[in-house]
Amino acid sequence: ISVLVLNGPNLNMLGKREPGVYGARTLAEIETETTAFGAGLGISVDFRQSNHEGMLVDWIHEALGRCRGIVINPGAYTHTSIALHDAIRAVALPTIEVHLSNVFARETFRHHSYISPAALGVICGFGPLGYQLALTALQPHVV
């Protein structure tokens, strides 16, 4: 069983980027931990990052028939992207939204998500652990 784990813009900068907000771990480290955790659940994790909205849309489309579910940290596209909302609706794969930071404790422009209405649920504020929590929550929906 394969799950697509998608990361949006600026998440390639983790480790260097605002460590007080996002922590010290790099995306490569998060990938390693998430992939290992997924393997323990019997889930093969396809972990990707792009700074380009259209690339993320293409990857969501390509997940159809290839993956059983999606975990997505859309980065700032969370707050802007109707295209990502529509892509998730189009493939109708169970999708969980993840944010490293607690977006509700931050600027008001981060309080609205275009992704949440298309998602099964949202996990935010738990740092890299959020990806593992999302896989745990997704597992019954993908078996």
**Least distance CB 42 / ligand DQA (angstroms):** 26
> Cα dist. 31→1, 36, 43, 85 in Å?
17, 8, 14, 24
Site membership for ligand DQA, residue 12 (CB under 6 A): no
Active site (annotated) includes residue 22: yes
Q: Quick check: helix, strand or coil at residue 127?
A: coil
CB-wise, 2 or 101, nearer to ligand DQA? 101
Q: Taking CB under 6 A as the criterion, which residues in 35-94 touch ligand DQA?
A: 73, 75-76, 78
Q: CA–CA separation, 94 vs 61, rounded Å?
A: 13
Q: Are 72 and 96 in contact (CB under 8 A)?
A: yes
Q: Taking CB under 6 A as the criterion, which residues in 94-113 touch ligand DQA?
A: 99-101, 103, 110
Which is catalytic among the residues 77, 85, 99, 114?
Answer: 99
> How many helices (H) and strands (E) in the chain?
5, 5
What are the residue numbers of the active site? 22, 99
**Residues placed in the known binding site:** 73, 79, 86, 100-101, 110
